[in-house]
Every structure is written in structure tokens, then in C-alpha cells.
Amino acid sequence: MSGDHHASSAISERVRHVEALLEARGLVDEGEIDRRIDEFLAGGSPANGARITARAWVDPGFRDRLLTDANAAIREVGLSMAGGLQEQRLKVVANTSEEHNVVVCTLCSCYPIALLGPSPAWYKSEAYRSRVVRDPRGVLAEFGLDLPATTRITVWDASAESRYMVVPRRPEGTEGMPEEELAGVVTRKGLIGTAAV
């Protein structure tokens, strides 16, 4: 993260120093870290998560593989969680009529950028990160998602090693829609669990 990415803060100076050491020792080429970050961010989009969800809705075998080993399954559609020097672990969870899943990172804002694009500001906010764990039903209601009292809500806490994505329930009336059209009904909020789809 060299060049214009850094302000003049002490942390920025330390990052640049470590970067220079890595370059001097031949562990990375000059500018390689910047290029990798730019490539990673350029490929990240909620359309990727929507594609995965649509495939899971139309292909039960893919859905099973996705819920069992998401990292392997997303490679089937040409995607990966390899955003840096090592692949992040991806766990995909599916909403059902009995259970609704929602994702948070209580420590910072860990998030599957490759599948959902850059994280929304509210996801990174302290208010969301602290409240969704204590009062998930209340937070979801603030997003406009009122779930029946009988629906169990599971909150998944992302970390530096693991990322989560939700497969929303397939909306009624979408039977027979082609996969590409189904992807168009999926939202980033649905993939995080703060919306129905």
C-alpha cells in the first residue's frame, strides 16, 4: 500500500517501512501489494454473491456443495476468496422458513469483498456491530425486515480468518425464472441478512 494510499501518520510510515523491507528482500516486487489490492477491489461486486445465490436456488447439488464447502463451490462459478497471500475461509449459510441468518464482524468490519463488493458504511458502524448481536430482531426491523416471532435468528460473527455470506430464501413467484434473472433480484443486504432477498 505504497504511494498515495498513505497519509503521513506513524502507522502509515510503519506500513511503508514493512513494504520497503519486503521489496528489498525480494519477497514482493515493487508495487505488487498495491496491484494485488487494486485487483482484489476491482473484482469485488454484489453481483458475484447474487450469481452464487441464483445458482444455489436452481441447482440443489450446487447448493449442497456451497453449504458444505463454500470455497470449493464458488470456484465452480469462477470465483474465489483469494484476495491476498492466502485464501480466506468462506462459510455460506442459508435462510429457511424457521431460521434467518445475519452477518456481522463485531471486532472491525471483516467482510467478503470479493463476493459483495466494498462493505456499506452501516456494516462498519459501531452501532450495527454492537446492536445486531444484542438485538438482532430489533436491528432487522430497522432495516424494514420484520420476521415472525417464531423465526430463529442466528448471528454469524466474521473474523480475519473467516467470512460469511447468506443465501436468502428464494422469493415466491420466481419458479421458472432463468438463473440470470434470479441473480437480479438478490441484494447485498439480502446476502448479509439485513433484507429478505
Residues comprising the binding site?
A: 105, 108-110
Binding-site residues from annotation for Fe(3+) = 105, 108-110
**Is residue 150 helix, strand or coil?**
coil
159 is catalytic: no
- b/e sequence 140-162, b meaning 16+ C-beta within 10 Å: beebebebeeeeebebbebeeeb
- Looking at residue 151, the DSSP 8-state letter turns out to be S
Residue 110 appears among annotated catalytic residues:
yes
Concerning whether 109 is annotated as a catalytic residue, the answer is: yes
- 130 belongs to the catalytic site: no
Q: Which position among 12, 80, 109, 119 bears the catalytic label?
A: 109
**Ramachandran angles phi, psi of 89, nearest 5°:** -75, 130
Number of H helices and E strands in the chain, helices first, is 11, 4
Residue 71 near residue 89, CB atoms below 8 Å: yes
Question: Please, how many CA atoms are within 13 Å of residue 126, restricted to the half-sphere of its CB?
Answer: 0
* Sole residue written with cell 420466481: 174
58-61's contacts with Cβ under 8 Å and 24+ in sequence apart are 58/179, 58/182
SS3 154: strand
Active-site residue numbers? Answer: 105, 108-110
